[in-house]
Every structure is written in structure tokens, then in C-alpha cells.
Structure 1
Amino acid sequence: MSRRDMSYTAALAVVTIIFFTWGGLTSLNDVLIPHLKAVFQMNYAQSMLIQSTFFGAYFLMSLPASKVVAKFGYKNSIVIGLIVAAIGAAMFFPAARIPSYPLFLGALFVLASGITLLQVSANPYISLLGDPAGAPSRLNLAQALNSLGTTVFPYVIGPLILSGTVLTLDELAAKPVAEQIAYRAHEAASVQMPYMIIAGCLLLLAVFVYTMRIPSLVEATESADPVHHSFTEVLSQKHLFFGVIAIFVYVGAEVSIGSFLINYISAPEIGNLDHAIASKYLAYYWGGAMVGRFIGAALLRVADARKLLALFAVAVIALLAVTMSTKGSIAMYAVLSIGLFNSIMFPTIFTIAIERLGPMTSKASSLLIMGIVGGAVIPLAQGALSDVIGVQHSFVIPLVCYVFIVWYGLSGSRIRAGQGQHTSTQASGVMH
């Protein structure tokens, strides 16, 4: 580490701000879905294109992002990611002005491309920033700030976006064409100011990170690897291969549940709430994840990460079974409580999947971030099923996802003989 570099503790504090920001931006999709569904009068499957576009960017842009990290390093990649995300947020202004659903999706894709680069660079950076044994605890702590963002953004910004009166398809169709156009334009415009403010804040954050002297950790990037392992060789590490699948099903399930929350708890037989009030209840879901990650950061210092992951997944399966089989407040609070047990899953899967990979870490990270495309696929599948059997029973799709996570924690994440041979390289490169 350069003498002019920050300590690892100070660098950790700087980077956790990034986690807070992208967490908030991602959770705003849960607000955009019911809002744009009403504006453009779409069914559930069509509205889930928001998540498909957003998380599809992870799949398409993760490998290019790994090349950016290899060329520019972790710190500069974080700065570039913030700038790209700012451009995407600014694109909401023309999308709302027209208004155009395809342009909204385009803006989301650019925004998600920036966040993809942040994920590929910041997640392994936190994991490598100190003793490898403490990586799960460190990343859970950083992800707790991510969950703080997912809690605050919908609560503060959600009601601003959802403040208008939502018309049914029949009510809108009864109005003259000119009034229909004016209604859509007015409702779409409610996203302009929030996202322009977000764009400005992202640019300021990029400047802030650029001026901070955080450690580069170039020894843990692909540029420090004389062998230049292929992606096929990286995937031959079984605990990573199954980790990519675990990230796919976890993110898909988490995003799918969050995407349906407002519409689900607004239903007369569940919570009987209007959308603006229901958006505030997202704080229970994402706030639970935040609390769980603070608790998880402490538990993971004494508990086995793999067993704790499996235990939390079992708890989510139980809560999904309850919300699918009951009505009213029991069903509502059961599904909202899932966030508490979702808490440790992403950071724990991520850290045990990149364990002992040394210079292969950046490539492994990009593959894991590609797995986030589950957030594009699984909500779309649940949306299609919801249009057939209803939202409540469609939660069977995320339930199956958590069954795989139980298996990964108990068996699939174990490092087999002959694998993880890069332990010494990683440790020597990143320890204090």
C-alpha cells in the first residue's frame, strides 16, 4: 500500500457510500413498476420488463466491466461506473417528457450498466480489503449500508413518484384522447425531478471518490496474473460455478418479491392499501434486510457462513409458505419479514464463491455479477404466472429458488480437493 493511501478502514467507509447509493437506485424499480404499469396501462408481464431490462444489463455488461477493472483498476472503475449511472438517471428526463416506455427502459439499461461496473469493482474490493477470513463479515456490513439505501429511497422518493391519482383502464378509456395523452404525460413527469437530482448526486459522488486516496489493490486484479486464466478455467472452480447459480436464483427471488410487494399488499384481501401508502411498507422489506445485515456481520464473526446461509434460506421458505396460505395482515407481514432473512445471502454467497481465487477474483466477480441477471428472468416468469394464477400463489417461483440456496450453503459451496489453490496469492496481496 502506498504511504499516501488511506487505511483499509477509511477506504471501507468511503466505498460503503457507493453501496448505499446503488441499493437505493435498485429499490426505486419497485416504485417505478406500479407507476409505469398504471401510466402505460400494462399487465404484470409487460411491467416486469423494467426488471428484465435493468438486470439484463448485468448479464450483458459484466464481462465488459471486468475488462474495465483489469485496465483501470478498482478505484477508477468505481468512478467510471458512477458517471455512467449518472448519465442513465439523466435520461429519465427526456423519457418522461415524451413519454415513452421504450425510452424509460433505455434509461434503465444505461443506469444499470453503471451499477454493473460498480458491482464488479466494489464487491470484490470490499472482500479483498483486509483479512480474507473476515471477508463475509465486511461485505455484510457494506451491504447493510446498501440496504439502508433500499429502505430510504422508496420511503422518501416513492410517494413523490406515486402521488398522482391512478386511473383504471376503463376510467382512462372513457376520457377523450387528448386527456389520455395529458394524463400519461403528467404522471410520467413525476419521475423527472427525482432522477435529475439523483444524476447530480452521482456525479458529485464520482468526484468525491476520485479525490480520495483509497488503496488500488492492483495485485488482486487480472493485470497481476501472469497466467491470465480463462473464464472457463475460473468456472471450473465448482464453488464458484454453483455460486453463480446461487446468485442468479437469490437475486431473482429477492427482486421478484420486491417487485410485487406494492401490488400484492395493496390487494383488498391482503393489506387493502393505496399505492402511495403501500410504497412506504417497502421500508419493512428492505429495512429488514438492513437490520439483518448488521446482525449478520456480527454473527459471521463467530458462525459458519455456509450453515448460516442455509438456515436463513430455510426461514424464507417458511415465510413464503405462510404468505401463500393465509390472508390479511398475517400474509402481508410474512412477506415483508422475508427481507430480514434475505439480508446475509448476497454478500455471503459472493464471498464464499470467490474464496481462495487470488488474481482470478476479478474474473470470478464478473461471472457472479452476470448471475444477477436472475433479477431479469425470475420476476418476468413470476409476472407471467401471476397473470394466470394470481400474485399470491405465484410466490412458488421464488420459493423454489431458496431451496437451491439451502443446498448451496450445505453442499455446493464446499471447496473441493485441488481447488482454491490461490489462497497464498490472495492473502499475501491484500493483508495489512
Structure 2
Amino acid sequence: MQPTAPMPATNTATTGNGNKYLVPFILVAFLFFLWGMVHNLDGILIPHLKKAFQLSNTESMLIDSAIFTAYFLMAIPAGMILKRWGYKKGIITGLIIAGIGAFLFVPAANTTTYFIFLIALFIVGCGITILETAANPYAAILGNPKTASMRLNLGAAVNGLAVFIAPLLGTRFIFSGIQHSDAELAAMTEVQRASYLSMEVSRVNTTYICIALGFIAVAVMFLLFRLPEAKDTSKTVKLSEFGQVLKHRHLRWAVIAQFFYVGAQVCVTSVFVRMAMKYGGVNEVEAGNKLGYLYGSLFLIGRFLGTILTRYFSSSRLLMLFSIGAALFSVIAITGHGQIVIYSMSIVGFFMSIMFPTIFALGLVDLKEETKAGSSLLVMAIVGGAILPPLMGQIVDWQKDNIKLGFAVPLICFLVILYFSIRGYKPVKEK
């Protein structure tokens, strides 16, 4: 998933210009990259642990649920942490929590216990939620207010690099390239199966130890460097305000569209490797590399091209065109064969690239003083990434491993987004 749109907040930091904000912004940019790495490794982690633990599709998709449930549960506590402790201490707290979660991959691998992996991922998700909640507004105040959007776009670009880099590193260090058929596994003795399981599961250690050290190292740098102190001094959103802001029809549809977008993106990346192997005729290493080189590069191209196209198209029109493209190539991925399946899924990534920030921005139109409540709801809609992938897994299991039929889930998601881009986005407030 990509970084959240800038959260509206007031703060106590003094803005200005000069090199004094360069180091703080570089540190914040690291945050964008770190959580991007975690999210985009899931496309490698899911097929790997599915193979290692011999999981069903539904069980393997719980990896997504573990991380994205944390977004839903931690969205409000994260805001409370930042309000009480400020951005710097809040960021350090998030980094430490995420680092602890990543380190828990070691005991999970050493004990070959899938449930511990899920707990570890949930803890990482809790830390990342705090980081995402803090990083956007903190980046916005690190310099001249007039260039805040530029800094946020740079952060998004750094995050986008992880879409390309994470699958390649995951393929290099996590995938073993060893594939056993069900018959071969059945022919193994208990000792042989246990040895194979232990070997496969332990391959995640190096990658996630490095990620954990990355979180801790950045936390130490935030401690050591003198950074601008800032707190979110805006008023706390009351529960009653959520009911009031939901009277805006376009916000309701934006929350629905965001729910389905995040679910769609997570579904596509989660099954990319397995679809490429099953229908594209490649092995796991080749499939993982294509997730990085093809899907990742096209996602980045879409992000930058989308920014340029906003000069010529309205946000709603651009979202309409991109959702049509995503739906069309989803159909091609479902009906196609061979390499067409791989290229179609990659092109879907291109069309998904602008959806999250565009839906977010359209949902906040005309909310005025209700903007903070509206943006909180849009962030909580990220829970779509926890709910829809297991649903997709259920369909695939029900249809005897027919992953193409499961791909109908993101297809339906894109049709919902298409409706939002045509009618749902129009601001209407009901009395």
C-alpha cells in the first residue's frame, strides 16, 4: 500500500527554509521507504510461507489481515500518541514497535510456528500505522509551507521505490527456488518434511532481521539528531463528528472506494507470484523478479505519469480512465494464458498507481472543518486490505485452487471505484 494522503493537522513547529530541515526530511523519507518495503515484501512472503507451511489460500492471506487489521485498530490510538508526545517521540515509538515485530520473525522461524509470524506482522503493522500517521504531517512542516506538497510527493516517490525494490530483494533472499509437488512431499519421511520446512521458513530471517535493524537504526538517528519539535494541536475528533461527516454522500462513497481499492491492490500483489507460476509458466524466482521488474516499474511509471496527467484531466476523469483500464486488464488476466497473464497483472499495477491519493483527495472536497474526521475515516478504510484477500483465498480454495476465479475480487473492486469516479465523487450533503 502507498503512503496515506497528507493528514490535516496544525502544529507547533516553526516553519521556514534552509538546510536545517534537510537532515530531518531525509530521516522522514527513510520512514516512507521502510514501510513500503514491509508492505511490498508481502507479495513474496505469502507464497513462500504458503509453500513452507503447506497452507490453504485462505490461511496464507491472513498475512495481509495481520498487517491491515493493525491499521484499523491503531488509527485512533496513533493519533492520540502523536497528540500527547509529539511527532518525534511518536515516530521513535512507532519505529521501536515495528522493529520488535520484525525481530519476532526469528523465533517464528526457529519454532516453525505460523501463528507467531502473524503476531509479528500485526506488531509491525501497529508500528507502521503510527509512522504513517506521523510522517505525512511532519514532512509537511519541515520547511516552507509553500513547498509542503513537493516534500510529500518526494516521500511518496521514495515509498514507490519500494514497490520495485522489495520484491527483488525478497526473491533474492527468501525464495529458495526449490519446488516439490504434492506427491514428492507425500513421499518424504516426517524427518525429511520437517527438515524441508525448517530450511524454507528460516530463509525469512536475514531479510526481516535487516528490516528490524533498519527500523532501530532510524529510531537511533531520530534520537541523536536535533529535530524540530512539533505536536498536533488540532482538536480531537469526537465520535459524534463521524456521524455528522458521513452525511456527505461523496465521503461515504470515498470510504467505500478506498476500502475496495486497498483490498484490490493487496489481492493483486498477494497472488501475483502464484498466478505467474500457475498460468505464466515461470518458476518462483522468475515470478518474484517479474513482480519487481514488471509490476513495480509499471506502478512507478503510472505514479509519475498520473501526476503529469492531472494537469490535463480532472481527478475524477483520471480516476475513471484508470479504473476502466484496471478492470479491462483484470479481465484479460482472468481469460488470458501464458505470459499474457503476467503482463496483464503488471499493467493492472500501472492503473492502480494513482487510485489511493485520488480517492482520498476527492473524498475530502468541501468538508472544511470536518476534514479531519473525514480523513480519519478514509485511513480506517485501509481495513479493506485485511478483509478482501482472505475472501479471495476462500474463493480460490472453494474452486480447487482456481486463482483466476479469485481474481474476480479485484475486478469487482475496480468496478466499485469506477462508479465512484462517475457519480459517487460528486459532493452532496444530506440533511
TM-score normalised over the length of structure 2? 0.86
Question: Equivalents in 1 of 2:63, 2:97: separation in Å?
Answer: 18
Q: Which residue of 1 aligns with 2:283?
A: 274
Write the letter of the residue equivalent to 2:327.
I
1:122-141 to structure 2, matched below 5 A, reads: 122-123=135-136, 141=154
* Root mean square deviation of aligned Cα: 3.0
Q: Does 1:142 align with 2:155?
A: yes
408, 414, 417: which one pairs with 1:396? 408
Q: Using the TM superposition, give the Cα deviation of residue 49 of structure 1 relative to its aligned residue in structure 2, in angstroms.
A: 1.1
Please report how far the alpha carbon of residue 361 of structure 1 lies from its aligned counterpart in structure 2 after TM superposition: 4.7
* Counterpart selection for 1:231 from 236, 242, 257: 242
CA distance in 1, matches of 2:427, 2:151: 21
Q: Which one-letter code corresponds to 1:233 in the other structure?
A: Q
Percent identity, please.
35
Q: Which residue does 2:376 correspond to in 1? A: 366
What does residue 422 of structure 1 align with? none
| Residues 140 and 187 (structure 1), Cα distance of their counterparts in 2 relative to 1, 3 Å cut | same
Pair 1:257–1:140, CA change in 2 (3 A) = farther
Distance in 2 between residues matched to 1:58 and 1:151, nearest whole Å: 23
Q: Distance between the aligned counterparts of 1:76 and 1:240, measured in 2?
A: 32
1:4-153 paired onto structure 2 within 5 Å: 10=22, 14-123=27-136, 141-153=154-166
The 1:231/1:301 distance shift into structure 2, 3 A limit, reads same
Question: Shift in Å at residue 187 of structure 1?
Answer: 1.2
- Corresponding letter in the other structure for 2:291: L
Amino acid at match of 2:66: T
Q: Identify which of 382, 406, 413 aligns with 2:425.
A: 413
Q: CA deviation at 1:100?
A: 0.2
Shift of 1:113: 1.0
Asked if 1:354 is matched to 2:364, the reply is yes
Change (3 A) 1:381 1:228: closer
Q: 1:136 to 1:300 in 2, by over 3 A?
A: farther
Query: SS state of the match for residue 335, structure 1?
Result: helix
Aligned length: 414
Question: Is 1:251 aligned to 2:265, yes or no?
Answer: no
Equivalence map 1:148-227=2 (5 Å) = 148-209=161-222, 211=225, 213-214=227-228, 216=230, 218-219=232-233, 221-222=234-235
Q: Write out per-residue CA displacement over residues 14-52 of structure 1, whole angstroms, 9 at most, x where no aligned residue.
A: 533322221111011111111111111112111111112
- Contact kept, 8 Å, 1:160 with 1:190, in 2: the verdict is yes
Moved more, 181-190 or 291-300: 291-300
- Contact map agreement 2:255 2:378 (CA 8 A) in 1: yes
1:141–1:414: structure 2 CA closer, same or farther, 3 Å change rule? farther
> Please, which moves more after superposition, 355-364 or 387-396?
355-364
Task: Work out which of the residue numbers 371, 387, 405 in structure 2 matches 1:377.
Answer: 387
1:326 correspondence with 2:336: yes
- Kindly indicate whether the alpha-carbon contact (under 8 Å) linking 2:366 and 2:427 is maintained by their aligned counterparts in 1: no
Q: Which moved more, 1:148-157 or 1:88-97?
A: 148-157
Question: Do 2:163 and 2:299's aligned partners in 1 also have CA atoms closer than 8 Å?
Answer: no
Inter-partner Cα distance in structure 1 for 2:65 and 2:216: 26
Give the conservation status (yes or no) of the 8 Å contact 1:253–1:398: yes
Moved more, 72-81 or 147-156: 72-81
Give the aligned residue type for 2:261. Y
1:382–1:131: structure 2 CA closer, same or farther, 3 Å change rule? farther
CA contact (8 A) 1:128 1:135 kept: yes
Question: Are 1:68 and 1:77, in contact at CA under 8 Å, matched by a contact in 2?
Answer: yes
User: 2 CA distance for matches of 1:30 and 1:248?
Assistant: 19
1:367 deviates by 2.3
What's the CA shift for 1:253? 0.4
Give structure 2 stretches of 5+ with no counterpart: 1-11
Q: Please give the per-residue CA displacement for 1:74-110, whole angstroms capped at 9, x wherever unaligned.
A: 4443332222111111110111010100000000000
- Are the equivalent residues in 2 in contact too, given 1:120–1:369 (CA < 8 A)? no
Say which is worse superposed, 121-130 or 282-291, in terms of deviation. Answer: 121-130
Contact 1:289 1:341 in 2 (8 A): yes
Instruction: Give the direction of change, closer, same or farther, for the CA distance of 1:13–1:339 in structure 2 (3 Å limit).
Output: farther
Report Cα offsets for 1:237-261 as digits up to 9, x if no partner. Answer: 4433322211110010011011100
Question: Which secondary structure state, in structure 2, belongs to the residue aligned with residue 414 of structure 1?
Answer: coil
Greater shift, 192-201 or 298-307, is seen at 298-307
